[in-house]
A and B are shown apart, each in its own frame.
Chain A
Amino acid sequence: MPTPLDRELKKGSAELLILSLVETRQRHGYEISKLIESRSAGALRFNVASLYPMLYRLEKRGWIQGRWVDKAGQRRRRYYRLTATGRKVLRSQRSHWQTFVAAINQIAGIENA
């Protein structure tokens, strides 16, 4: 079970994570969840119940766009990619996040790994 702290952290960072993952290429939901898990070395995990509402929210805000893609011999899948608005948001969130992390480090005195 995620602890409260875990959930808060996730909530704050999740949008940033998703936006960065679809920045360079379009990906489907399962792929996004796997990437988050592997790139955080298992520290962050999104299961189906938390991932999709978030994807739909970002899509509704117009930051990402999902579309069904048919590939020969396969079932159709839904892929998400970053929109122009999403790109702007990602840029500003990234800088906010970096400032924030820097500030935390400064105060908490954690060595940058």
Chain B
Amino acid sequence: MPDFTKPDFKNAVRLRVARLNLEPTREAAIVEEMSQHLEQRFAELMAQGNTRSVAQETVLRELKEGSRLEKDLLQVEKQVPLEPAPPEGSGVYATLARLQKDLRYAFRALRLNPGFSTIAILSLALGIGANTAIFQLLDSVRMRSLPVQHPEELVRVSIPNARGRSGTARGNFPFFTNGIFEQIRDHQQVFSGLAAWNSTGFNLANGGRARGARALYVNGDFFRTLGIQPVLGRVFSSQDDQRGCGLPGAVISYGFWQKEFGGKASAVGSKLTLEGHPVEVIGVTPPEFYGVEVGRAYDLAVPICSEPMIAGEYSVLERRDGWWLGIIGRLKAGVTAAKATAQLESISAPTFQATLPARYQADEAKKFLAWKMAAEPAGTGLSSLRRTYEQPLWLLLAIAGTVLLIACANLANLMFARANAREREIAVRLALGASRTRLMQQLMLESLLLAAIGALAGIVLAQGLTRILISYLSTQFGSVSLDLGLDWRVLGFTAAAAVLTCLLFGLMPALKATSTRPIVAMKTGSRGVTTGRERFGLRRILVVVQVALSMVLLVGAFLFVRSFQNLITLDAGFRQSGILAVDLDFTQLNIPVAQRNNFKQQMVERMQAVPGVESAAAVDIVPVSGNMWNDYVHFDNAGQDVHDLVNFNRVSPGFFKTLDTPLVKGRDFSPADTLNSPAVAVVNESFVHKLLKDADPLGKIFRVDEGAGVPESIYQIVGIVKDTKYNDLHAEFGAIAYLARSQDKKPDTDASLIVRSDLSLDSLMASVERSVAEVSPAIGIQFSVFKTQIRDTLQRERLMASLSGFFGFLAAVLATIGLYGVISYMVVRRRSEIGIRMALGADRGRVMALIMREAALLLGIGLAIGTGLSLASTRAASALLFGLKPHDPAALAMAGLALALVAIAASYLPAFRATRIQPTEALREE
């Protein structure tokens, strides 16, 4: 007797259809209809005399036939984004499959809510992008290895106990004289090679407007030590670097080769003019090699031995007090930096003994002989940029990090709101047996996905931002060149930032959302009441945090902006606008020393004769140009020697008038001051105050040491001028002594002139150029705009002011959004309460006050915490501030005021909406 009870085909159908993720009711309908069909077919087959198993097999085969069912159904049926059943198991494959499914699900969830996703991704991209940009800069300035062979083997030689070096210093790293370098080179045993260099600038033009090139003097072993192979021609060897070598050739950088020679192979063998001397190009270095100074790429290099030829009478090569070389060594295999230091210490005494400058007097010589050399890791190169910008960059990174934190708080707030909206969905899934861990996993994956997309967009954004940042570091003359490629550190940083932000904004909302008790959420319909208050509390805390952090950033922004403002508005004691500095180089005219003062005075008169020029003067040290000259000034005060370090300058008559520096007493220099008349000086008020205790200085005599064996110079004070800044706007006014340009006993072949005119820069420069060329086309000219040159010294302040201002603004905007969100949410939640209040007679003013009070409370707490945080954290910025203290009450007040305005703006709209609530409607909903 055959068994006619029908097998259940529902499961077979459901298995096939379930994967399609159809709407549950639709799925049930399809399962019911198709399984009925199969049952009928089964009965038919049985009736035809098939055995039960054959019939069952046939039916199931037909269901599978062509395996097209799912595909065809998919084309017709609508899918719903419901959680697919995760593959079971714990193997790698199952985990990956689960991950893939979750990812797809997360994508779908984000796509379903494009508004939220866009805002989230944009704010993350901005936050992460800003952080990445600053970190990238920090990375390239601070952490990146030199693009040379085995950078980790490189150390720089230093003299840690050398406190100042007296003599002549040149270049960015004037740590050694050539004599000391040669001693080290000949006696050390720990280095497989030594690289010594000096960075300088050469004029490529042969007369006329100067064309600057960034140049290096390098020792013969420089390239071999660093392991740099030429891409064309050859680099120097020790044979090229021999005393008296003249100018044996120049090695050029890849960039210079492209720019100057169009990358042609014929570049090798062609000639360049360096400071008027012809030189042959002998080779080109690889594209990635920029020298050993981070941020300052070189154009061309010549051997150290060519310095006497190029610098002429100012050569420092043989001077025992000529400080101009930096030294990097490559450690021999197995030698550590500590071992190298030990050896350098052991050769220090004989080295300094052999190189003691003759003019050093007893106490200075004693200090010099006690110097000890050391080796410090230098795999990341050397950088003056690093010295100036490392601290500001770390500070900016902290600021950008805080902005990201505020953005995270905003996102967390949004996520809370979203979690609220999805409460029922999550409750249903929990009720259906989804585990809390799984739901957490999925919610976190959504956050991670947002963070990852944000981070990717951030990296792209950062590439533009770093370029803007670098433009802040470049000056009138020196453009900063940094290798900004992405390396593992930058990518790692961004990834870490993404994960961290994801945890910050995703974790709390996910935890909260999954802790919902399903029964509660489902019972109360669309709103969760019991969890609401707690969650709302968290959101308020988030807003308080935002306000507090924004306060810190705004205080910082106000501090830096006011600092910068202080610097650009301060009275430096001289006129800044309408002044053009003109540097003339007349070395090639071969004018004898005795006639140079005259020649310089002629050039001043020429400038004065240029139409449109109000006045002109010659000066040795253009103020705030980075150059300086100081010396000890001695006075006899009743038999006592009074002395102090004083800044010097040498100026022509009319200098003070040209720069609007008032003469307080006495007289300006005059044409009557010559080498044959008594040497005279004009001093500033600080000089009088510091050295003469405000006694009348006119007629007083001071002395300046000229070194052993040379008679001291004697000057008589004939005038007093107002204080001016010398070489640093940040520094206090100091004592300055001005000497007469015309009384220079050893005038050089450069003339620095300052020209005051209302003419446009272009026409003024053209006129000056013409006028100079009339004297001789071989005179080199370089212009710099005085005001721009001064502003260039404030780059760091400008960078801090603009970036902290920008971030402060961003923070305030984010806080506004956060506050607005929370207050609006509150109005919605308390809708019925407000309705009741209004029904019971509360007027609109009361309702408005109710809402604004809430905003004021959040603001108040935020401001209080923010003030505390600001006071604690702005100390880190004190070194970067000018003219104000980190605890500047005005900055605190302004930041507080700005945030109060923000709070009012953010809460007014929701409060206004609250007053429009119709009591009847609000109550009806209840």
Chain A contacts to B: CB under 8 angstroms: 2, 29-30, 33, 47-54, 56-57, 60, 75, 77-78
Contacts and interface: CB of A to CB of B under 8 A. Distances in A.
B74 to A, nearest CB: 9
B36 A30 contact: yes
A30 B9 CA distance: 15
Interface in B19-75: 29-30, 33-34, 36-38, 40-41, 62-69, 72-73, 75
B66 A50 contact: yes
Nearest to B16: A49
Contacts of A52: 30, 33-34, 37, 69, 73
B76 interface: yes
B33 A50 contact: no
Given A30-B40, A56-B76, A49 B33 contact: no
8 contacts: A29-B33, A33-B37, A47-B41, A47-B63, A49-B63, A49-B64, A49-B67, A56-B73
Nearest to A54: B72
B77 interface: yes
A51 B66 CA distance: 12
Contacts of A56: 30, 73, 76-77
Interface of B: 29-30, 33-34, 36-38, 40-41, 62-69, 72-73, 75-77
A48 B66 contact: no
- Which of B29, B65, B76 is most buried by chain A, counting CB atoms within 10 A of its CB? B76
Given A30-B37, A50-B66, 5 more contacts: A2-B66, A49-B64, A51-B37, A56-B77, A78-B29
What's the dominant secondary structure at chain B's contact region? Answer: helix
Given A47-B65, A50-B66, A50-B68, A75 B76 contact: no
B517 to A, nearest CB: 37
A42 to B, nearest CB: 14
Nearest to A78: B33
B41 A30 contact: yes
A48 B30 contact: no
Contacts of B63: 47-49
Contacts of B73: 52-53, 56
Contacts of A78: 29, 33
Nearest to A51: B37
A51 B63 CA distance: 10
A47 B34 CA distance: 10
Contacts of B36: 30, 75, 77
Contact of B76 (A29, A50, A51, A60): A60
Nearest to A2: B66
A99 B68 CA distance: 31
A77 B33 CA distance: 7
Contact of A50 (B29, B40, B72): B72
A33 B65 CA distance: 15
B35 to A, nearest CB: 9
Nearest to A68: B29
Contact of A48 (B37, B67, B77): B37
A49 B64 CA distance: 7
B76 A48 contact: no
Nearest to A76: B32
Contact of B65 (A49, A53, A60, A75): A49
B76 A49 contact: no
Nearest to A33: B37
Contact of B69 (A49, A57, A77): A49
A84 B68 CA distance: 30
A29 B37 contact: yes
A48 B10 CA distance: 13
Contacts of A51: 37
A2 to B, nearest CB: 8
Contact of B62 (A48, A53, A57): A48
Contacts of B69: 48-50, 52-53
A102 B323 CA distance: 106
Contacts of B66: 2, 49-50
A48 B38 contact: yes
Contacts of B65: 47, 49-50
A47 B59 CA distance: 9
Contacts of B33: 29, 52, 78
Contacts of A77: 36
A49 B34 CA distance: 9
B233 to A, nearest CB: 70
Contacts of B29: 78
A18 B68 CA distance: 19
A2 B66 CA distance: 9
Contacts of B68: 49-50, 53
Contact of A47 (B30, B62, B75): B62
Nearest to A7: B66
